[in-house]
């Protein structure tokens, strides 16, 4: 994790603005309304974007509090650290990192536990509206779609190497596209003829030829573009890992605030909060000890009509809020695969070299956050 060079080719041609969605609602959800932010609390904005939420959070925090921001997009980091939009507030620090690793970044800094984490997931307007990023079928450009342009496989590279079955699975699952198989077949047929799809325009043309029935008001390529974006950025896995981390890195009473923009993401958030906040009665064991719950569900908020009419991109947003109970984190309670793996490593490491005064086993062993941070 290090602050990347801001000189990506798109940085110079990115005039697009981002209008922050559910700005006040999301920031106010980070703390109890009556109590306000904790004076020396640590807060995390896991999706800095253009910093709309971060700036409002900073305006509400006391002088002893701190805000850690993350983004996997080098342009977002450049925006936070350079030029007119730079944030020079000494309580602020930003790291170039995927939010799946947020708890490790916090631990690596020696910070934590955290009083509130905000995730405003998905793409930002500058990402969609900058032609060269390849997120939109509205412009003809290289088919990239990576949020983190410093690493990983682009959408074009995925199409160039994946099988018909893999492409079908991605487009069907992440795009909920009925014509996933014919689209995948057409893409691979072109590749076999030596005409691999490398641009957004070429992909749109293939989809337009293959998808026979158009949904009213929707470009036929919408679902395929969404699916490839989710695949390239591992968006759902990122979200699951970040939610799991909240169980061990949020302080008792700490808030988890997530804004999602489509049903696949919202289902993950909703199911996660329900799993950790609702008592499940096992009829086979009627007198079993009640399960210790790690979260309380606090709220579900949609944008107001006024917000949607001023910013149509907000219309699909759903904000969910949960609060960490004071039940200590434990392997059994977490019960999720990434947590199990991480906890196992911590336990093994502690067994190999017990340190006097070491902190609880439930806390992850942090790794260095690199040199990218900045106060
Ligand atoms: C909707 S925008 C956030 C906008 C921000 N709240 C604001 O007010 O400007 C989403 C941002 O999250 C970043 N992002 C998406 N997935 C991410 C991930 N897994 N890890 C880190 N950043 C991510 C994107 O690069 C993008 O900048």
Report the alpha-carbon distance of residue 181 to residue 190 in Å, rounded.
Answer: 14
The long-range contacts involving 215-224, CB below 8 angstroms and separated by at least 24 positions, are 219/137, 221/137, 222/137, 223/171, 223/175, 223/176, 223/177, 224/171, 224/175, 224/177, 224/183
pLDDT of 230-241, one tens digit each? 999 999 999 999
Per the CB < 8 A criterion, the answer to whether 130 and 10 are in contact is yes
Output the CA 1–ligand 1 centroid distance in Å. 16
- For residue 23, the ligand 1 atom closest to its alpha carbon is 8
Across the chain, mean pLDDT equals 86
In sign, the C-alpha dihedral spanning 125, 131, 134, 139 is positive
- Bridging pattern class, strands 318-324 and 295-301: antiparallel
Residue 112: Cβ within 10 Å count: 23
Give the three-class secondary structure for 59: helix
- For residue 73, the ligand 1 atom closest to its alpha carbon is 25
Report the alpha-carbon distance of residue 155 to residue 136 in Å, rounded.
Answer: 12
Per the CB < 8 A criterion, the answer to whether 369 and 109 are in contact is yes
Q: Scan for tokens 């030029």, then name that residue.
A: 83
Output the CA 72–ligand 1 centroid distance in Å. 7
H or E stretch covering 318: strand 318-324
Q: Which distant-in-sequence residues (6+ apart) come within 8 Å of 139 by Cβ?
A: 131, 200
pLDDT of 195-216, one tens digit each? 999 999 999 999 999 997 777 7
Residue 111: Cβ within 10 Å count: 17
Among 27-31, 223-227, 261-265, 339-343, where is mean pLDDT lowest? 339-343
pLDDT at 358 over 60: no
pTM listed for this prediction: 0.85
Residue 353: Cβ within 10 Å count: 7
Q: Which of 29, 47, 78, 314 to mutate to test the pocket of ligand 1 (most atoms within 8 A of CB)?
A: 47
Report the alpha-carbon distance of residue 19 to residue 308 in Å, rounded.
Answer: 11
Nearest Cα residue to atom 25 of ligand 1: 73
Nearest Cα residue to atom 9 of ligand 1: 50
Range 138-175 burial, b when 16+ CB lie within 10 A, else e: ebbbbbbbbbbbeebebbbbbbbebeeeebbbbbbebb
Q: Which of 49, 117, 125, 268 to mutate to test the pocket of ligand 1 (most atoms within 8 A of CB)?
A: 49
Residue 70 backbone phi and psi in degrees, to 5: -130, 155
Between the CA of residue 254 and those of 37, 314, 324, what are the distances in Å? 10, 26, 5
pLDDT at 35 over 90: yes
Output the CA 322–ligand 1 centroid distance in Å. 20
pLDDT of 274-300, one tens digit each? 999 998 766 777 677 777 899 999 999
pLDDT of 111-153, one tens digit each? 989 999 999 998 999 999 998 999 998 899 999 999 999 999 9
Pocket of ligand 1 (CB under 6 A): 18, 20, 47, 49-53, 70-73, 76, 98-99, 120-122, 124, 147, 238
- State the pLDDT at residue 218: 84
Residue 271: Cβ within 10 Å count: 12
pLDDT at 156 over 70: yes
- State the pLDDT at residue 316: 95
Q: Which strand ranges, in their side-by-side order, compose the sheet holding 42-45?
A: 92-96, 66-71, 42-45, 114-120, 250-260, 318-324, 295-301
- State the pLDDT at residue 60: 98
Residue 68 backbone phi and psi in degrees, to 5: -105, 125
Q: Which of 128, 147, 231, 232 to mutate to test the pocket of ligand 1 (most atoms within 8 A of CB)?
A: 147
Mean pLDDT, residues 296-312 taken together: 96
As a whole-number percent, the residues of the chain with pLDDT over 90 amount to 73
pLDDT at 17 over 90: no
Nearest Cα residue to atom 22 of ligand 1: 71
Output the CA 71–ligand 1 centroid distance in Å. 6
CA nearest to 114, candidates 101, 96, 102: 102
pLDDT of 70-83, one tens digit each? 999 999 999 999 99
Model confidence band, residue 336 (pLDDT cutoffs 50, 70, 90)? low
Output the CA 49–ligand 1 centroid distance in Å. 5
Output the CA 37–ligand 1 centroid distance in Å. 23
Between the CA of residue 361 and those of 150, 247, 253, 343, 354, what are the distances in Å? 34, 14, 20, 8, 11
H or E stretch covering 120: strand 114-120
Report the alpha-carbon distance of residue 208 to residue 327 in Å, rounded.
Answer: 53
């Amino acid at each position: 994790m290090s602050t990347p060079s801001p000189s990506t080719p798109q940085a110079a041609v990115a005039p697009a603005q981002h209008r922050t969605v559910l700005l006040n609602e999301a920031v106010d959800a980070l703390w109890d309304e009556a109590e306000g932010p904790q004076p020396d609390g640590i807060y995390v904005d896991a999706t800095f974007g253009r910093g709309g939420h971060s700036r409002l959070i900073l305006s509400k925090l006391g002088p002893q509090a701190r805000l850690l921001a993350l983004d996997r997009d080098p342009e977002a980091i450049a925006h936070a650290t350079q030029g007119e939009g730079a944030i020079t507030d000494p309580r602020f620090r930003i790291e170039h990192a995927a939010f799946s690793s947020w708890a490790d970044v916090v631990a690596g800094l020696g910070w934590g536990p955290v009083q509130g984490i905000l995730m405003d997931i998905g793409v930002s307007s500058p990402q969609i509206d900058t032609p060269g990023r390849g997120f939109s079928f509205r412009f003809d450009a290289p088919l990239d779609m990576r949020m983190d342009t410093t690493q990983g496989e682009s959408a074009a590279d995925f199409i160039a190497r994946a099988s018909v079955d893999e492409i079908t699975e991605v487009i069907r699952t992440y795009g909920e596209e009925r014509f996933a198989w014919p689209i995948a077949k057409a893409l691979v047929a072109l590749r076999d003829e030596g005409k691999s799809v490398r641009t957004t325009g070429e992909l749109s043309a293939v989809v337009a030829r293959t998808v026979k029935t158009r949904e009213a008001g929707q470009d036929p390529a919408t679902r395929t573009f969404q699916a490839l974006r989710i695949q390239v950025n591992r968006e759902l896995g990122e979200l699951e890992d970040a939610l799991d981390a909240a169980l061990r890195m949020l302080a008792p009473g700490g808030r988890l605030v997530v804004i999602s923009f489509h049903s696949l993401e919202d289902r993950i958030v909703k199911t996660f909060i329900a799993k950790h906040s609702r008592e499940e009665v096992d009829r086979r064991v009627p007198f079993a000890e009640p399960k210790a719950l790690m979260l309380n569900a606090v709220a579900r908020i949609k944008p107001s009509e006024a917000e949607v009419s001023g910013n149509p991109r907000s219309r699909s947003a759903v904000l969910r809020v949960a609060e960490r109970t004071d039940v200590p984190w434990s392997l059994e309670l977490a019960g999720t695969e990434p947590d199990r793996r991480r906890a196992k490593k911590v336990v093994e490491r502690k067994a190999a070299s017990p340190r006097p005064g070491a902190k609880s086993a439930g806390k992850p062993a942090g790794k260095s956050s690199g040199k990218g941070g900045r106060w």
